[in-house]
Chain A
Amino acid sequence: MKRRIFFIILSFLIPASLALTAPSAKDIFSGACLFYEKGDYKAAIKEYDRILDMGYESGQLYYNLGNSYFKDGQLGMAVLNYKRAKNFMPRDGDLESNYRHVLFRLRYPAAPKPEILPLRIFNNLALYFTVNELAIFLAVLFFVFIATVLSHLYFHRIKAYFAVAVAAILILFALAVSLAVEKALSISREAVVVDKEADSKFEPFERATTHFKLYEGLTVSILDSKPPWYKIRRPDGKAGWVKKSALRRIKPQKEKAL
C-alpha cells in the first residue's frame, strides 16, 4: 500500500518537475533573439520553429522568423512568414517595410490595386483588420443592433432615428461579414513559392508540358489539389499545376483527399 502511494505521488511530481525545468516559449524566444544578434540565423530559425512546434504563434514570432529567413538568404520563406505575421499585426510599420523590402529584393512589384475605388477601399479595409478584430466588431454590432431594437420598443422617443440606425447597422454588418469572409478565404487559399524556381504545368503530371515558371517568393492562389500537385493561379491570372513541395500555404492545413 505504501509503495502504491509512493508511485502515485511520484507520478504527480515528475511532470511537475519537468514543467518547472522545461523552458517556456518566452525563454525560447529570447534565446532565438540572441542567436539572431550573434548572426547565427539558422539556429535562430530552429528556435523560433520550436515555439511553433509547441503550438504557439504570434505576429512578432512570425516577423522575427521572417527576418531570420531573410538574413539566411531564404527569401521565399521570409515572404511566407511576413505574410503570416500580417494576419496578426496588419498595421505594423516595420513589418510592412520589411515585406516591401524583401519583395524589392526579389524584384516583384507591389500587388496591383483595383482600379475601382470601392473595390480599392474594400481591399484596403480587408488588409487593415485582423480576423479577430472583425469578429469583435461584428459582435459589437450585434449588441448595438439588439440595443437599438429594444430601445425602439421600450423607449419611443428614439423612434424617429430607428430606421436610419437599423439601416446603418445592417450595412456595417454586411460589410464586416464580407470583409471577414474575404480575409478568411484569402488566408486559406494563398501560398508562397519557397523553391528558387518551380515549373507550372498544364496537367498534374511529371511529363506534362511546362506552361510557365514560378520564382521564389511569389504569392499565388490555390485553386485545386491533386496530391502531390496544387493547381494555382498566378497574380497575372495564369493557372497551372505545381508540385506541392515548391509551395507553402499561408495557413498550414491538413491536405484534403480528393
Chain B
Amino acid sequence: MKKNARKYLIPVILACIMIVFPQDRLNAEEIDFRISTSRTKVTVGKIFSLSLIFEGTSNVPAPGVSPIEGFQVEYMGPSTRISIVNGRKTSSITHMYTLIPLRAGRLIIGPFSFNYGGNTYLSNTITVTVTGSPSDANAAAHPQVIYDETERMRDRIFLVVSPEKSEAYVNEIIPVYLKLYVNRVNIRDIQYPEFSQKGFLMSGFEKPYQRREVMDRIRYEVVEFKTFIYATQPGNFFLDSATVRCNVLVEKKRRRLGRFGGIFDDDLFDDVFGGYDILPFEAKSKKVPVTIMPLPKEARPGDFTGAVGRFDFTLEASPHKVKVGDPVTLTMRIKGDGNFSTVMCPEIDVGDKFKVYQPQVSQEPGAKIFEQILLPTEETVKEIPPVSFSFFDPKLERYRTVTSAVIPITVEKSEKGKEALLAGFQRFTAGKASEEELLGRDIVYIKPSPGKLRKRGKYIFKSAAFISMNTLGALFFVTLLVFYRRKERLEKDVRYARRLVAPKEARANLKKAKCFLEKGAPGEFYGALFKTLQGYFGGKFHLPTHGITITVIDEVLKPKGVKTEVLEKLKVLFEECDLVRYAVSTFDREKMEASLKKTSEIIDYFERTRL
C-alpha cells in the first residue's frame, strides 16, 4: 500500500509543480524571437503581412516596430498558441502587422530588438524586393488606392451622432447615441468612439449593442454606443464630430489569369488573410447643433440648488425614541431620472433644538442618498420638521418642490445630565466652529498624536514572536496527540504493550541476577536469569511466560530466522539454568559472569534485530 502511495506521489507532485510554475516561466530564458513576412517580392502599394513570432511564451506585449524605412505599418493584433504534447507545454505568441511598401528597391525589415524579463532579444532580418511598376493594376493597393477605396466606402460605413434632444436646459441630461452604420462591408477591431465636447460634461460609454436598421430602403448593421452629456452654460453649441476607428476587410481583386498565367502566381496561396486586404478606416460624424436654454428665473424656489430632472423625495428618521444628545439618523432618498451630479443635500431647518452633523452621501443607480445625523439638545423636541427638496422638471418646464411630512419623535431627558451634554454641544456651536458648521462641509481636524508608530510594512504575522508562538502551539499539539495515541495503544493493544515492556523488565531482572552474583548464590542467580529469559521472550513474542522453556528455541525462534550462533548461546543458557538445580557446586563466579554476559548479549541482539 505504502509503495503504491509512493509510486503515485512523485507524479502528483510533478504535476502540481507544472501547474504552479508554467513551463514558459520555468524556461523564461528560452524565448525564440523571429520575424517572417507573407511575401518577399511585392509591388509598391501592395499590402502584405509581417509576423513577429515569440516561441516559448504567450504573454509578450506587442513591441513597437514602427517606423520601418520605406513601409507604412499598421498593427493588426496578436495570436497565441499553446499546445501540450506528451506532458510538455509549448506556447507562442505572434504579433501581426500589415505593411504597405512606399517605394521601390531592396528594403530590409529588421532586426528588431525587444526587452523582456531583463533580457534583450534580437530578431532576424528579411529583405523584401519592391518593384516600382505594379504588374497588375488591379492588385495594387497604393496609398492613393487605399484612400480611394476608403473614400468609396464612406456611403457604406458612416457614423451618426444623434442626441435624444436638440434643445435642453442647463444641467439637463441628454442621452447621445453614436451609431456606426455598416452596409455590406466586413469590419472588425471597432474601437470605442473619440468624442470629447467643450462646454459639456460627459459620462463614459456604455457597452455597445448591435442591431439592424433600415434607412432609405437600405438595410444596415448598426453598432450603437450610448453616453450622457449635460451642459453647464446656456447657449447655442455644436456637438463636435465623433470618430470611430476600425479595420475594413476588402476583397482582393483577382489577377486575370493569362493563357499561361500560373495559378501559383495568385495571392491565394501566399497571403495570410486569404482573399482579403485589411484597410484601416476612420468614420467621422457630422457636427450636430444643440441649444442649451438657461433655467428660468421666474418662480425659482429659494432652496433650489441646481437639480434638474424628475425626482421623488422621501425622508425617514431612525430611531423615533431617543434621549437628549443621542443621535437620530435622517435618511433623505432622492430617486428618479435626471442629473444626480447636481443633486445636493436638502437643507434642514431645525433651529437650536438639534445639533446637525455633515451629511454622508452615497449613490445607487437611480438614487442618491443623504444620511444626516441630528442630536436633539432638549427633551422638549417633539418632531423633526418637514424637509423640502426643489428641482427643475424639464418635461413640465417648471420648478417643483417636494416636501416631506413632519416626523414625530420622542426625546427623553438624559441620565448624564443636561448641563454636561450642553457644555459639549457649546464647544461645537460657539465662535469659529459654528461658522464652519454653517458652511456645512469640511474635513475633521488632524489627530494630535501619531498613535502607535510601527516600522513600515511590519505586520504581526511576519514577526518572529507570532511565528514562534504558533509553531510552538503546533508542536505542543502534535506532542500531546502522539502521547495520547501511544497511551491509547498501550491500553488497547496487549501485544504491543508487552513487547514494549519486555526489555525494561529484562533489564530489571538482570540487575537482580547481578545482585545474586555478588552474593555468590548460584541457585538464585540462575533462577533470576531463567525468569529474565521467560519474561523477555514471553513479552517479546506475546506468549505465556510460564510456558517459555528450551523448546521455544525450535518452535518460535528458529522459524523467525534467528542466527544459529545466538540460538546456540540461548540453548546453553537454558541448559545451565536446568543444571544448576542438580549440581550447584559446579557453577563458580566466572561461569556465572559469563552467563550474565551471554544473557545481556542475547537480549541486545533481539532488541537490535527486526524479526
How far, in whole Å, are A20 and B192 apart by their CA atoms in the complex? Answer: 62
Query: Is the C-beta of B452 less than 8 angstroms from some C-beta in chain A?
Result: yes
**What residues on B are CB-neighbors of A203 within 8 Å?**
61-62, 75
Stretch binding the partner chain, chosen from A6-14, A57-65, A121-129 = A57-65
Chain A residue with the shortest CB-CB distance to B361: A104
B474 to chain A, nearest CB (A): 8
Query: Is the C-beta of B363 less than 8 angstroms from some C-beta in chain A?
Result: yes
Contact A112 B446 (CB under 8 A): no
Contact A100 B361 (CB under 8 A): yes
Contact B477 A150 (CB under 8 A): yes
Number of residues in B with C-beta < 8 Å to the partner? Answer: 48
Contact of A139 among B449, B450, B466 (CB under 8 A): B466
**What residues on A are CB-neighbors of B459 within 8 Å?**
131-132, 135
Q: A101-B442, A136-B460 are in contact. Are A209 and B191 (CB under 8 A)?
A: yes
Contact A58 B450 (CB under 8 A): yes
Contact A110 B204 (CB under 8 A): no
Contact of B453 among A57, A89, A139 (CB under 8 A): A57
How far, in whole Å, are A107 and B342 apart by their CA atoms in the complex? Answer: 10
**What residues on B are CB-neighbors of A210 within 8 Å?**
194
Interface residues of A in 205-234 (CB under 8 A from B): 205, 209-212, 226
Query: Is the C-beta of A79 less than 8 angstroms from some C-beta in chain B?
Result: no
- Chain A, interface size: which category? 35 or more
Interface residues of B in 76-123 (CB under 8 A from A): 116-118
Interface residues of A in 41-57 (CB under 8 A from B): 51-52, 55-57
Chain B residue with the shortest CB-CB distance to A63: B447
Q: A55-B456, A58-B451 are in contact. Are A33 and B64 (CB under 8 A)?
A: no
Q: A56-B455, A153-B484 are in contact. Are A26 and B450 (CB under 8 A)?
A: yes
Query: Is the C-beta of B364 less than 8 angstroms from some C-beta in chain A?
Result: yes
Contact A64 B447 (CB under 8 A): yes
Query: Is the C-beta of B245 less than 8 angstroms from some C-beta in chain A?
Result: yes
Contact B449 A212 (CB under 8 A): no
Contact B444 A109 (CB under 8 A): no
Contact of A56 among B358, B446, B456, B470 (CB under 8 A): B456
Q: A132-B459, A154-B484 are in contact. Are A29 and B450 (CB under 8 A)?
A: yes
Contact of B476 among A71, A136, A146 (CB under 8 A): A146
A233-258 Cβ-contact flags toward B at 8 Å (1 or 0): 00010100000000000000000011
Contact B360 A100 (CB under 8 A): yes
How far, in whole Å, are A107 and B344 apart by their CA atoms in the complex? Answer: 11
Contact B361 A56 (CB under 8 A): no
B434-473 Cβ-contact flags toward A at 8 Å (1 or 0): 0000000111111111111111100111000010011001
B235-257 Cβ-contact flags toward A at 8 Å (1 or 0): 00000000001000000000000
Query: Is the C-beta of B501 less than 8 angstroms from some C-beta in chain A?
Result: no
Q: A51-B453, A203-B62, A257-B118 are in contact. Are A142 and B470 (CB under 8 A)?
A: yes
* 19 A/B residue pairs, CB under 8 Å, sorted by A: A56-B454, A57-B454, A60-B449, A60-B451, A71-B443, A94-B444, A97-B444, A100-B360, A101-B443, A109-B361, A110-B361, A112-B364, A131-B461, A139-B466, A153-B481, A202-B191, A203-B61, A203-B62, A238-B204
A: residues with CB less than 8 A from B are 25-26, 29, 33, 36, 51-52, 55-61, 63-64, 67-68, 70-71, 88-89, 94, 97-98, 100-102, 104, 107, 109-110, 112, 131-132, 135-136, 139, 142-143, 146, 149-150, 153-154, 202-205, 209-212, 226, 236, 238, 257-258
Known: A60-B451, A101-B441, A109-B361. 6 other contacts (CB 8 A): A26-B453, A57-B453, A59-B451, A64-B447, A146-B477, A203-B61
